[in-house]
């Protein structure tokens, strides 16, 4: 089966001299490699190959890349262009963990961030950890949410990813273990077709310290992928998912292409594809979009 290996780096960081080195590494494992094809000069390039599966190709490429700031994603060529995007929000579409930043308003950022880090690495049950962290914010004024939103920044490439996929006819959904207060605003700002997340309960202008049930966790994210795909007649192999935490793993593993984006160690180890150096446009290059086809932010 024909496959393609996509190399992606921060702009200007993909050295042309790296491409033949990666081709040689694949050839050494028995692959028949085609000529490299630049998708974006010194930023993204494809190397088509046959006679080798995707996983060993990625492992060989990463070994050849060494310490260079270059990501490698290998997949079947025929199904690389996707029709459905499901994305996590915190530390994926936005640069921060919004709950941790909200905790800063209560002087509890370090304490709550420590719990978040363990939950995102799969060391704690997500639902229990979420309830625990939210309970610590009981009595915080509702205005703290607006102040937190005012300092929240989008991840580079977020707008381009969603706009380009939508222009190509894909459906896009933001599915987060965070809160509707933030996902609704991110949906509007970035252009997602829909958003799903948790409801932070508020009464008399203050956080009650509770989250509405049921809590959107890893199982709900996977269910959303299957439900949205089925409703639109999109097979899972035609879906791309992206996230950084352990609660994203089921949807990452179920999709045709699941990308661990700047992810926690346990997630990087388990996911089939990962991006640690490039921005979110890497997901477009992985689908074969060329720089000229990417919709500008």
Q: How far is the C-alpha of 290 from the C-alpha of 150, rounded, in Å?
A: 33
Domain spanning 1-78: CATH 3.30.70.260: yes
pLDDT tens, residue by residue, 167-212: 999 999 999 999 999 999 999 999 999 999 999 999 999 999 999 9
Which CATH architecture best describes the domain 81-297?
3-Layer(aba) Sandwich (3.40)
Query: What amino acid positions are annotated as catalytic residues?
Result: 88, 90
Average pLDDT, the chain: 97
Q: How far is the C-alpha of 83 from the C-alpha of 18, rounded, in Å?
A: 31
pLDDT tens, residue by residue, 12-44: 999 999 999 999 999 999 999 999 999 999 999
Q: Is the Cβ–Cβ distance between 161 and 86 less than 8 Å?
A: no
pLDDT tens, residue by residue, 90-143: 999 999 999 999 999 999 999 999 999 999 999 999 999 999 999 999 999 999
Q: How far is the C-alpha of 204 from the C-alpha of 11, rounded, in Å?
A: 48
Segments making up each domain of the chain, as ranges:
1-78, 81-297
Query: What is the model's pLDDT at position 196?
Result: 98
């Amino acid at each position: 089966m024909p496959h393609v290996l996509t190399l992606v780096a921060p702009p200007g960081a993909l050295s042309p001299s790296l491409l033949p080195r990666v081709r040689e590494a694949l050839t050494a494992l028995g692959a028949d490699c085609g000529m490299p094809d630049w998708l974006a000069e010194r930023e993204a390039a494809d190397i088509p190959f046959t006679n080798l599966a995707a996983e060993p190709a990625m492992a060989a490429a990463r070994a050849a890349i060494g310490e260079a700031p270059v990501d490698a994603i290998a997949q079947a060529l025929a199904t690389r262009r996707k029709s459905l995007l499901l994305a996590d929000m915190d530390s994926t579409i936005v640069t921060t963990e919004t709950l941790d930043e909200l905790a800063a308003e209560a002087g509890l950022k370090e304490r709550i961030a420590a719990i978040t880090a363990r939950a995102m690495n799969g060391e704690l049950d997500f639902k229990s950890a979420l309830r625990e962290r939210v309970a610590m914010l009981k009595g915080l004024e509702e205005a703290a949410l607006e102040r937190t939103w005012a300092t929240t920044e989008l991840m580079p490439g977020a707008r381009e990813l969603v706009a380009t996929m939508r222009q190509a006819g894909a459906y896009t959904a933001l599915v987060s273990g965070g809160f509707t207060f933030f996902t609704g605003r991110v949906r509007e700002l970035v252009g997602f077709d829909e958003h799903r997340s948790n409801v932070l309960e508020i009464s008399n202008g203050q956080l009650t310290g509770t989250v509405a049930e049921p809590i959107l966790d890893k199982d709900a994210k996977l269910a959303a992928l299957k439900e949205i795909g089925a409703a639109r007649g999109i097979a899972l192999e035609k879906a791309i998912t992206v996230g950084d935490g352990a609660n994203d793993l089921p949807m990452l593993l179920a999709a045709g292409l699941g990308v661990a984006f700047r992810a926690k160690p346990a997630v990087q180890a388990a996911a089939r594809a990962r991006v640690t150096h490039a921005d979110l446009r890497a997901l477009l290059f992985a689908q074969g979009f060329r720089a000229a086809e990417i919709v500008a932010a």
